[in-house]
Structure 1
């Protein structure tokens, strides 16, 4: 296929990425590296990555900058290679303190939660370290969890339940690690932790609130009787909600729970009828496990017409642009692309029908 035009705001002045001589050599390299029976043709994207790499040399970026680009690409490629054979399995990412000891009630709660989700067919994704991360790997069992480790000068060493596992991934950068945590998961469970846990929590909440990742269940779990997340919610309500920094519907994107059973139910119920979603041009397509009756569709329209910029929620067949899950029933709407808290409320309604 002809190469796509690559735009570069800086222009890489004087560098003609589409010089026929350069393109011929790039195409020859791509063809040489592509397996004969490749399942997908990504040669156009590989070509773009090579051109970008050449531009870094021509632009004479500082060596430290090029090291970051190089290491980030290597980490992501390796991580995606590990995950690609497990994309048909739903997963839960578990976050929490590395300092939580095995006798702590929160450790036991995370352990029970991981075991329970494993029994329901889910794999775990953790940060591979001690504490809550170890509880997630231990509870999941051998071969049923991933560990995405971060290299730190202190505290973080891979726990015994994932350190020598083929599903162990080592990262130097927090941003590549966090991308994999959130890209590869179907749900997130937060347990009490420190700055890192809150960083990850606000990152996840922001991505769901702004639609930069698909809706997913987010549970905040602490042992019965503890007030860790209750106090956190009090701060969110007083300082963010009551002062207009977030909208009331944004409070719908997370749930606070105190038992492993509650946390598991929240995640499993989220996918009771809702399956997945994607945008096709101006339409949001929501895939379901069971079709809606006309009366149920009417209820949905009455309750959520505010998030439709045009028309109404309607039944839809699989569109030509959709290559997967074509057998599932669907609904479509012209979503306003801003009310993602309301969209979460609509998913809850779909699961209750």
Structure 2
């Protein structure tokens, strides 16, 4: 018997299901109570319109995405102004095509430029769109227009929430203010632990320098002035190769599957058990990210309610919730079956 089979039972009791139903009902009641409090607080008409529209947008977006929650998705960010014959457009199209061939869905903003390139590469069946409604633009691109997997949204913040919440990887191609905003928001969310780890790739066309120049700025200004940690460079990859971008994403999910917190413990689910030898190396190499205790390989904790994932082994530990760059290196080591990736030098 594998050691990860010697711990908590895999069975979900009726009591567990009942607790989950009670929790859902409590959350719905909290939403209702918040609405009642807004009325008592004499919230302005403008505030109520914003909240009502936001909740309506998110509810509909959740409804659209729910049937596809078991499919891996990659979000593509980039300029709406990029012409179809531009090398960056062609790179986005080829990247999306490769990901679709590997059974990934492709989420973009549904407009023109890089967004259209992503959808053209993926094809209509593998395309999902989050379109933003602006005074001067924009109708969805012809690939996704009229598709059931398209959501039209009024607010950038609800749209960005869906981009980040629903995907398993992010690829940013060159763009303007909006693309830079999206790239840095994703980096901030992952760096601060507000979003679970996933691959972030800054992709240029072959020979392009857009992201390399930004990376130089980050190294020469942010890192040089100690505004970020050296390990934060592990959170993203800069490349001008579509093949490297695809490989970065697929390698991330080679052994690693997903993560979640249960009380104070971080649970990393893996597709195969971590070998005893690697576990000992991890205990030695990554003791600095523990708040207490040690690394353990075990089965699902009783509090986990994802029934379709309960068969997977877990690496469970008390993470200090600060060193997210080091946590990314831990995932790289799990995927490599070795602690060699932790020897990378930054910057």
Report the TM-score, using the length of structure 2 for normalisation.
0.89
Q: Among 173, 190, 201, which residue is 2:172 paired with?
A: 190
1:308 corresponding residue in structure 2: 290
Q: Among 116, 119, 125, which residue is 2:101 paired with?
A: 119
CA distance in 1, matches of 2:198, 2:289: 18
**Aligned-pair distance for 1:155?**
4.2
Secondary structure, aligned partner of 1:92: strand
1:50 and 2:42 aligned:
no
Unaligned runs of 5+ in 1: 1-38
Q: Among 84, 98, 111, which residue is 1:129 paired with?
A: 111
CA distance in 2, matches of 1:58, 1:299: 58
Contact 1:143 1:167 in 2 (8 A): no
**Aligned-pair distance for 1:67?**
0.4
1:334 and 2:318 aligned:
yes
What does the per-residue CA deviation read over 1:126-185, in whole Å, with 9 as the maximum and x for residues that have no partner?
001100000111111122111101111224331111111111101110000000000000
What does the per-residue CA deviation read over 1:181-237, in whole Å, with 9 as the maximum and x for residues that have no partner?
000000000000000000000100000000001000000100111111110001111
2:224 corresponding residue in structure 1: 242
Alignment of 1:75-114 (within 5 A): 75-114=57-96
Alignment of 1:5-16 (within 5 A): none
**Aligned-pair distance for 1:305?**
0.8
What does the per-residue CA deviation read over 1:248-279, in whole Å, with 9 as the maximum and x for residues that have no partner?
00111000121221111100000001111111
**Aligned-pair distance for 1:40?**
6.0
2:3 corresponding residue in structure 1: none
Contact 2:299 2:311 in 1 (8 A): no
1:61 and 2:43 aligned:
yes
Unaligned runs of 5+ in 2: 1-19, 338-347
Give the alignment's Cα RMSD to 1 decimal: 1.2
Alignment of 1:164-243 (within 5 A): 164-243=146-225
CA distance in 1, matches of 2:320, 2:27: 30
**Aligned-pair distance for 1:243?**
0.3
Larger Rg: 1
